Structure 1
Amino acid sequence: MSTAAVMQSSNPAELWDAVVARNRKFDGAVYYGVSTTSIYCRPSCPSRRPKPENVQFFFDPESAERAGFRACLRCKPRELPGSEKLQLVRNVCRAVEKNVDSPLPMKQLSAELKMNAATLDRAFKQSTGITIKQYAEARRLSLFKTALRFRQDVTTAIYEAGYNSSSRVYEHSNARLGMTPAAYSKGGNGIRIRYAIAPYSAGRALLAVTEKGICGVKLGSDPDRLIHELEGEYPKAELVHADSELRDWMSNLLRRLEGEIDLPELPVDVRTTAFQRRVYEELRRIPAGETRTYSQIAKKLGGESGRRAVARACATNNVAVFIPCHRVVRSDGGMGGYRWGLDRKEDLLARERQYRRR
């Protein structure tokens, strides 16, 4: 039952009957708060029924919370059941796909799906880790990139993908494409990447930099293998060995690898999905020497079920240390994975902790 339908047709007596019957049809459309406990629930909540004189009804969680109620830990009224969540995500994705070339206003989407806008966006984020707006932007960007790949000119691709102006695309091209749209349409051909290699306590480090910022950090023991990996990652780019030009940049990286903290931040130039961007933002908030679990990061992004997606985002991080994926571990205390070896992950964390104790 939709929120709109409940608001138009129901009265307090009917809503109370739904609570007494624990009627699941009203879940997501109405909530009740109990004045004696300051807790609000969904109608189907299995907890002990309150006295009717202590009950107040609301049509969305936000209204209940503004009135001073907190969410029930038993029925979790801010969440949807798994099957309903999955169907909701499917419906949102279908609606976005149908309107990807002409953005669908949230108000219209919530009316189409018969759900409060805030509740709808929150449920989608709990299941996917990103908001509906971020998903729509990612799909629009994907459409834009596909058009470029099929050799459409940039201007045509911009407007066919639903962007209102070229300035919005170019404004974010570095963060989302890793290069300008014109360069991306050529597969990165002609992009100049300078790189440097230097020894440090746990092996060798390779630092790769475009004109926009750091696009790669690789750790290992064999410098030739690190260069080979860089060539495989950017087969059409012009790679220039530039140790002397990147001396200051490399110094920043080496000091981080030795555990130093409070160093100047350097710009990065990486291509990410909307979800990866949010994961990386959370990673950069973790203090040096401390750790968070994959589940903790996923929960911050909207739901513990996304821990595997968080792990994948960490595994595909191309700028190790600058985006500190080494600070994420498993819930059981294990190190988890690390692209450059668990020994290096443990060593880096130990050095950061040691440096903080000084």
Structure 2
Amino acid sequence: MISEEEAWDAFERRDRSADERFVVAVTTTRIYCRPSCPARRPRREHVRFFGQGSEAVAAGYRSCLRCRPDEAARDKQAVARALTLLRQAEAPLRLETLATAVGYAPHHFQRLFTREVGVSPAAWQRARRLRQADQRLSEGASVAEAMYDAGYSAPSRFYEDAKVLGMAPANARKGGQGTIIHWAKVDSPFGPLLIAATERGLCRVSFDEGVDALRRRYPAAELVENDGAPLIVAARAAIDDPALAASLPTDVSGTAFQQRVWAELRRIPPGETRSYLDIARVLGDPNATRAVGTANGANPIAIIVPCHRVVRNDGTLGGYAGGLERKKDLLAVETKQSQGSLL
């Protein structure tokens, strides 16, 4: 149970992400609601908070017929069950099949799933298959092997998914055909980095990778080792001075949602952190914390797009592709630098 001050703040904001954490009881009407209930807000002195609906019932309150708070947990469980079914499925599941399996009408479950996860079931499945194909490409599989291993029945469907999702890495741009990528392996205070850039911007910054990993992502591109390329030099400078990173151009592709998340990450000042919930709220959907986490983990440009500045909602560090110790070091250095700049 969160503090009453935090609960009241969430109730005033109609924060949907709080629906599973507590219910709000109104002493004058003897009704309890979800924090996101659209009804007019009562005065503060007429409000009590309970950890769950059963506690409110025991205290003599009845469920709101408008927001139906007792269904919040059921909705959450249904989405979790649907995600399990989607992960276990060997072929794409139709919305009707998925909704029936979890006991909801298709049109209602479409809205529920999208609200909770951030994308529709169909979009989630497209993104998952495309991620699987991209992972196989990064492991050295051919385009054909990657497509079929990910469950695609034809190349046309594979490229159509890439187009719909707005993705254009090695898979959607046919391996970077016609692209020149300058790259370099550089030492940094946080370990060895691979830095790569096209003429349009940085396309890869990652720890502990070599040119072979870059070649697997862009098998048809022309890779040129060049540690003097302007963007590589600029990226190295930004690693030492994080304030420079926000102005560097990037050439990365992802879904529209991922692009919004990455853009928001670049707005986090050095020395500060944001939670997944903070980012989701800025994007206008507090329920999209899981989708924010997924987009954060898919970031292809370490440090420059500072995914290390995002922490769990409870304040703990969470994971990091470059390793948790690196994340701690990055945050410690940036905090020290930002504090020093204020002296």
The question of a shared fold, defined as TM-score above 0.5 by the shorter chain, is answered with: yes
CA contact (8 A) 2:195 2:205 kept: yes
Q: Which residue of 1 aligns with 2:302?
A: 320
Superposed CA RMSD in Å reads 5.3
Structure 2 contact 271–331 (Cα < 8 Å) conserved? no
Asked whether the equivalents of residues 183 and 191 of structure 1 are also in contact (C-alpha less than 8 Å), the reply is no
Give the match for residue 292 of structure 1.
Answer: 274
Superposition pairs for residues 1-358 of structure 1, below 5 Å?
36=29, 39-40=32-33, 45-46=53-54, 47-48=56-57, 57-58=65-66, 61=67, 75=70, 77-80=71-74, 83-89=77-83, 97-99=92-94, 114-115=104-105, 117=107, 120-123=110-113, 126=116, 130-138=119-127, 141=130, 149=144, 157-158=155-156, 160=157, 163=160, 170=163, 175-179=166-170, 181=172, 183-184=174-175, 192-196=180-184, 206-211=194-199, 213-218=201-206, 229-235=210-216, 236=219, 237-244=221-228, 246-248=229-231, 250-251=233-234, 254-255=237-238, 257-260=240-243, 263-269=246-252, 280=262, 283-293=265-275, 302=287, 306=290, 310=293, 317-329=299-311, 331=314, 333=316, 337=320, 339=322, 341=326, 342-355=328-341, 357=342
Alignment length (residue pairs): 278
Q: Tell me the residue number matched to 1:222.
A: none
One-letter amino acid of the counterpart of residue 144, structure 2: R
Q: Return the TM-score normalized by structure 2.
A: 0.55
Contact kept in structure 2, 1:124 and 1:131, CA below 8 Å? yes
User: Aligned in 2, Cα 1:230/1:96: closer, same or farther, shift over 3 Å?
Assistant: same
Q: Larger Rg: 1 or 2?
A: 1
Give the Å deviation of 1:354: 4.2
Q: Deviations over 1:9-28 (max 9, x none)?
A: xxxxxxxxxxxxxxxxxxxx
Q: 1:56 to 1:261 in 2, by over 3 A?
A: same
Cα deviation digits, residues 44-102 of structure 1 (max 9, x gap): 932237999x98634xx4xx8xxxxxxx5xx5x43426654443445677699244xxx
1:26 corresponds to? none
Look up the equivalent residue of 2:174 and give its one-letter code: A
Q: Which runs of 5+ in 1 are unaligned?
A: 1-32, 65-71, 220-225
Counterpart of 1:302 in structure 2: which amino acid? N
Structure 1 length as normaliser, TM-score?
0.53
Contact 1:192 1:210 in 2 (8 A): yes
Per-residue deviation, 1:325: 1.6
Question: Which sections of structure 2, spanning at least 5 residues, go unmatched?
Answer: 1-24, 38-51, 137-141, 148-153
Q: Report the identity percentage.
A: 21
What is the rounded CA distance, in whole Å, between the counterparts of 1:109 and 1:280 in structure 2? 31
Alpha-carbon distance in structure 1 between the residues aligned to 2:243 and 2:173:
39
Describe the SS at the equivalent of 1:234: helix
Aligned-partner SS, 2:212: helix
Aligned pair in 2 of structure 1 residues 281, 119: CA closer, same or farther (>3 Å)? farther
* CA shift in 2, pair 1:177/1:298, >3 Å: same
Q: Offset of 1:240 from its aligned partner?
A: 0.8
Distance 2:246 2:212 in 1: 29
Q: Displacement, 1:269? A: 1.9
C-alpha distance in structure 1 between counterparts of 2:191 and 2:90, whole Å: 50
| Separation in structure 1 between the aligned mates of residue 272 and residue 183 of structure 2, nearest angstrom | 30
Counterpart CA distance in 1 for 2:63 and 2:240 is 58
Q: Which amino acid aligns with 2:303?
A: V
1:125 Cα deviation after fit? 5.3
Q: Are 1:88 and 1:124, in contact at CA under 8 Å, matched by a contact in 2?
A: no
